[in-house]
Amino acid sequence: MSQTDASAAARMQPSLAWTVVTDAPLKGLGLMREAGRIVVWDEADGLALFDAFGERIWASRAPGPIVAGAVSDDGSLVALLGEPRRLWLFGPELELIADREAVADPLGLAVDPHGRYVAVSSRMAQTHLYTRFGRKSGEFETLQPLAHVAFVPSEPRLIGAAGHGSLFGIELIPAGRGRLDAEVAWRESLLSNVGRLAVTGDGGTIVASCFIHGVQRFDADGRAEGSYHLGGTAILALPDYVGRTIAAATQEGELFLLNRAGNVRWKTALPRPAIALDLDALGRWLVYGQATGEVSRIDLEESRRRAVSPSRPAARSAVGPSPISSSPMREPAWTLPVAESDERAETAVLAVLDDPPRIGLMTSADRLELFSTDGKRLGKTPPIKGVGRLLRTAPGWIAAATDRELLLFDARRNGVRKLDDLNLVQLTHLEIRPDDFGLAAVQERDRVGRATIAGRWIWRREMDSGIEELALAPDGLTAVTTDDGRLILLDPAGTPVPGPSAAFGEPLAVVSAPEGSPADLAVVTLARQRQVLRGHDRTGRVLWESPVPWISWRLDRVGASAVVSAPDGRAIAFDGTGHACSSTRDAAPPGCWAEAPDGVVLRVGRRGPHLICDDLAGRVRWRALCESPRGPLAAGRSGVAALLGRDLAWFPHPNLATPAHPGAAEPRDPYLP
């Protein structure tokens, strides 16, 4: 390093100006270098526009799942590639300008710095050019598909990099009426794949991040000028407008600033690797994003730090977290160690009771442990013998069962009832409604019965076919579906209710009527393979049918909705009339369902290291970063319980105070006399 470079490095003390957090895990970002604005897009397909001080200006939502994005330097155009093969163009206030079909198998995306043209490359080795209004303006072919494309800001040229080691220069020639002719001017071979492609303002320097081959630099004709090796896997690299400074990031989580000679002026280690990186045109500041949703700006010059808006927090002397109050990120309200080993944590079951708010946990120790939602341990029940663990809730009650024994916890009186006299054998299904019905249980998949909370059978009945699912309908009815495709309703005395004897061709899922349903609706069934949801009255007669657009997996009753979900996480919520009220438009890992305090159906699940609570429209209510091993989940109106490693964590829904139940006694150990 020269003496000049050494003194420059000594003077450089970058500092964190601000950090904002996206609503969902980050997918990408773009810096509008002239406008000084930052556009971010996330996994929930949300778009947000921030100014240079980290203040959110506009927010919008893409019409569908986002695959890639690019922005113009002047701030006039945002382009997104979506599924399936859609091109969406947005204006400076994130207003939708155009929604059109893109080239087949789109691969790369670039926007002209002045917001006039958009380039979309494809796996078919074709690249299509569009105007800012979505009209096609030209196309060209290359020998290899272009994985990356970039416009040269000051000249009518396009630079492209193939996924398998070629660099292309394309001349763009105006042909009138918004048309562009394109010619491949040169092609050079590369020795590696490219993670990102970027150019200086005059196109005289092309920078490519080439993974283990470091950062490669080329001249305007694609001739190699050198490489910078960072000691890691270079995934992102780009120069400022004139090429004096190059910012780079590695897969190992390091962030670098290099001068044109390749000397390291500054570097730092990030908590997680950057997945997006952009540099101010004059090299005064940079912005980077991490997959967890943190988007941060680092000031590189003292003059920029003094210019930061006084409404923002003061810049720090070291790069580190700087959360803001509006962040959707959540930390648990509390955590408690609850499992003695990883094996017990992995096989545990959880339940959340809303009335009164309680959390039930059962591990292989075969004791039900109770917690309040403010993190107090309320004690453990006596052990129950057998294998398997079931937890069921009803207002005021939690039932815990194995295949042989069952107990009820009365949450209002903090009492336990162990139902030994039932003499259970291979319990397979359980539903409870202790306040007016008692409980219904299925043993060995073919014997269904109703019992009191004192542990006495009211009736038991053996079925001539295996039982698929069990539900408790209004007026003391018990609903079972069988392996041969029948729905059978049993009255409070256990006698089959006369009605139409229909076989539906496959085993059905069944739930009781959602809250607020018409008075004549008793149960809702789901034919998974035939993709039909049906509402039935108290005799089993079909009141309505609603088609389901895909083969489904589960049927859950969530407040006023019956939620149908697919194995890939897609879901639709139906009301008691069979009307589809809301649905997801994207797949997500399966999780659990809950009704929010405002009545909205919430989905809680894990996506990578994130625990995400969102609604069916994809709007994220909150999310948490959970990097420890993750266990079961349970959710209710009050919040979400999760086993993280060996610890029980509680995430209350935002802005929800948990009131004490008016009839609840002071919490105490239910095992004590």
What is the torsion angle, in degrees rounded to the nearest 10, for the CA atoms of residue 480, residue 483, residue 485 and residue 486? Answer: -30
pLDDT (tens digit per residue) in 354-404? 999 999 999 887 899 999 999 999 999 999 999 889 999 999 999 999 999
Strand ranges of the sheet holding 285-290, from the earlier edge strand across to the other edge? 15-21, 294-299, 285-290, 274-279
Full DSSP string of 388-433:
--EEEEETTEEEEE-SS-EEEEETTTTEEEE-GGG--SSEEEEEEE
Q: Is the pLDDT assigned to residue 12 strictly greater than 90?
A: no
Which residue would you say has higher pLDDT here, 308 or 518?
A: 518
User: What's the pLDDT score for residue 327?
Assistant: 65
Strands 377-380 and 179-189: unpaired
Strands 561-565 and 571-574: antiparallel
Q: What is the mean pLDDT of residues 315-328?
A: 42
Q: What is the mean pLDDT of residues 229-245?
A: 94
Binned at pLDDT 50, 70 and 90, residue 306 comes out as very low
Give which of 448, 564, 436, 548 is closest to 495, Cα–Cα: 448
CA separation for the pair 561, 100 (Å, rounded): 35
Cβ atoms of residues 546 and 578 within 8 Å:
yes
CA separation for the pair 214, 261 (Å, rounded): 14
Which residue would you say has higher pLDDT here, 342 or 281?
A: 281
Beta-bridged to residue 390, according to DSSP, are 401
- DSSP structure class, residue 486: B
* Residue 578: partners with Cβ closer than 8 Å, 6 or more residues away: 533, 535, 544, 545, 546
H helices, E strands: number in the chain: 3, 59
Q: Is the pLDDT assigned to residue 656 strictly greater than 70?
A: no
Binned at pLDDT 50, 70 and 90, residue 446 comes out as very high
Q: Is the pLDDT assigned to residue 610 strictly greater than 80?
A: yes
Cβ atoms of residues 32 and 71 within 8 Å:
yes
As a residue count, the chain comes to 673
**Residue 320 to residues 39, 256, 270: CA-CA distances in angstroms?**
22, 15, 8
Helix, strand, coil shares of the chain, percent, nearest 5, are 5, 50, 45
- DSSP structure class, residue 513: P
User: What's the pLDDT score for residue 322?
Assistant: 35
CA separation for the pair 480, 124 (Å, rounded): 54
Q: What is the mean pLDDT of residues 647-673?
A: 55
Q: Is the pLDDT assigned to residue 141 strictly greater than 70?
A: yes
User: What's the pLDDT score for residue 655?
Assistant: 65
Give which of 241, 207, 206 is closest to 221, Cα–Cα: 206
Q: Is the pLDDT assigned to residue 661 strictly greater than 80?
A: no
CA separation for the pair 197, 215 (Å, rounded): 10
Give a three-class secondary structure readout of 528-560.
CCCCEEEEECCCCCEEEEEECCCCCCEEEEECC
- DSSP structure class, residue 570: -
Q: What is the mean pLDDT of residues 17-43?
A: 94
Sign of the C-alpha dihedral, residues 589, 595, 598, 600?
Answer: positive
Tokens of 100: 């059109």
Q: Which amino acid would we find at residue 214?
A: G
**Residue 21 to residues 220, 235, 351, 490, 542: CA-CA distances in angstroms?**
38, 22, 30, 53, 49
User: What's the pLDDT score for residue 470?
Assistant: 97
Tokens of 192: 């590696």
The helix (run of H) or strand (run of E) holding residue 33 is none
Q: Is the pLDDT assigned to residue 605 strictly greater than 70?
A: yes
The domain segmentation of the chain, as residue ranges, is: 3-302
Mean pLDDT of the chain: 89
pLDDT (tens digit per residue) in 152-201? 999 999 999 997 779 999 999 998 888 999 999 999 998 789 999 999 99
User: What's the pLDDT score for residue 176?
Assistant: 85
Tokens of 56: 């959110």
Cβ atoms of residues 126 and 79 within 8 Å:
no
Cβ atoms of residues 140 and 184 within 8 Å:
yes
Strand ranges of the sheet holding 146-151, from the earlier edge strand across to the other edge? 146-151, 157-162, 166-176, 179-189
Cβ atoms of residues 380 and 367 within 8 Å:
yes
CA separation for the pair 257, 40 (Å, rounded): 23
Q: What is the mean pLDDT of residues 532-561?
A: 96
Cβ atoms of residues 605 and 647 within 8 Å:
no
3-state secondary structure of 415: strand
Poorest-confidence range of 235-249, 281-295, 504-518, 626-640? 626-640
Sign of the C-alpha dihedral, residues 567, 573, 579, 585?
Answer: negative
3-state secondary structure of 5: helix
Full DSSP string of 572-623:
EEE-TTS-EEEE-SS-----EEEE-TTS-EEEEEEETTEEEEEETT--EEEE
Q: What is the mean pLDDT of residues 271-277?
A: 94
CA separation for the pair 447, 544 (Å, rounded): 30
pLDDT (tens digit per residue) in 549-573? 999 999 999 999 999 999 888 999 9
Q: Is the pLDDT assigned to residue 662 strictly greater than 70?
A: no
Which CATH superfamily groups domain 3-302?
YVTN repeat-like/Quinoprotein amine dehydrogenase (2.130.10.10)
User: What's the pLDDT score for residue 302?
Assistant: 60
CA separation for the pair 557, 592 (Å, rounded): 11
User: What's the pLDDT score for residue 160?
Assistant: 96
pLDDT (tens digit per residue) in 206-233? 999 999 999 999 999 999 999 999 999 9
Phi, psi of 236 (to 5 degrees): -140, 135
Cβ atoms of residues 469 and 483 within 8 Å:
no
- The reply to whether omega before 670 is within 30° of 0 (cis) is no
CA separation for the pair 310, 506 (Å, rounded): 66
Cβ atoms of residues 477 and 433 within 8 Å:
no
User: What's the pLDDT score for residue 370?
Assistant: 96
Q: Which amino acid would we find at residue 302?
A: E
